[in-house]
Copies of this chain bind each other. A is one copy, B any other.
């Protein structure tokens, strides 16, 4: 990958996935003079409507991937469940995929992810894998109840996970989760949920954004406050973790790393997403170069941009019908509006977000 020259403006950047993250990546790519090609099974997707090229097809459809490879000089993605086979097909056709398959593999399997993290000096809660009901009972006994049981694969926004209140309940919860391979995790007695957004360029340079403090409701991100109140020691910890993860994965692009801050000030990694991240949306109005442009710069082989905060931001997701308040929001002088162009405001669906900005 380091051999590929930096892509000149006018090159085509392929993006797998046509949702809001793809849309905001496409808008950032457009600002830098790139063209974008979106691969997405749904016609009329949010990202497709701001892209030069659209391929409507399944993420692993060979014809669709061939069409994408014919257009794009580099391919990236907006979600971590891109099929490994799709990446292999693109690479076989000579297309660079960034972030690479190593990051995807780790992000797609919660057990591989935590194993990788610990092996690279990024601490997590205690965890154990289980493939069968008996193993699940044994894992909960080992980790101690209450524990969190999660499917190893899939699941997002709190889906595919349940609390196990007692070791005796482990078999029932294992069955409720579909009797698929799971990971059992010790609970984190955290004081705050934080996240660090970071990037690594094709030249190995890294750039880290200030920490964000995140608040979830029903498993869905509700708001982020950034830059989060943090001691230099806490920021240093986060930067060290980010650097280790990025280097351990030989990463190219932006990564979102979710953290637990324990009551003693220690940071544990909850999970990472090999992509731009909802808790990084504040950077659009709060940082010198935002996470979307940063990701495009990284995958295009450009130098990374600066990441310092230029404002204090409260980012609020607009879920479902909340986005209908756009007139009221547009009247607020401190509010920057970002809407995704989704056609239907289903309950809980991320329709947009706002960044409420204040001077630093």
Contact = CB atoms under 8 A, between A and B. Distances in A.
A333 interface: yes
B49 A52 contact: yes
B289 A302 contact: no
Interface in A28-67: 30-35, 48-52
A330 interface: yes
Kindly name the residue among A9, A33, A338 whose own CB sees the greatest number of chain B CB atoms within 10 A: A33
Interface stretch (A128-136, A192-200, A305-313): A305-313
Interface residues of A, number: 42
A8 interface: yes
A323 interface: yes
A53 to B, nearest CB: 9
Interface in A311-346: 311, 323, 326-327, 330-331, 333, 336-341, 343
A127 to B, nearest CB: 40
A10 B50 contact: no
A341 B302 contact: no
A137 interface: no
B34 A30 contact: no
Nearest to A35: B49
A6 interface: yes
A10 B23 CA distance: 14
Given A27-B27, A311-B310, A341-B30, A8 B52 contact: no
A8 B305 CA distance: 34
A34 B305 contact: no
Given A33-B339, A297-B330, 10 more contacts: A6-B327, A9-B339, A9-B341, A10-B343, A30-B49, A31-B339, A32-B339, A34-B341, A50-B52, A305-B330
10 contacts: A6-B327, A10-B341, A23-B30, A30-B50, A33-B340, A35-B49, A35-B341, A50-B50, A303-B327, A306-B333
Interface of A: 6, 8-10, 23, 26-27, 30-35, 48-52, 288-289, 297, 302-303, 305-306, 310-311, 323, 326-327, 330-331, 333, 336-341, 343, 352, 357
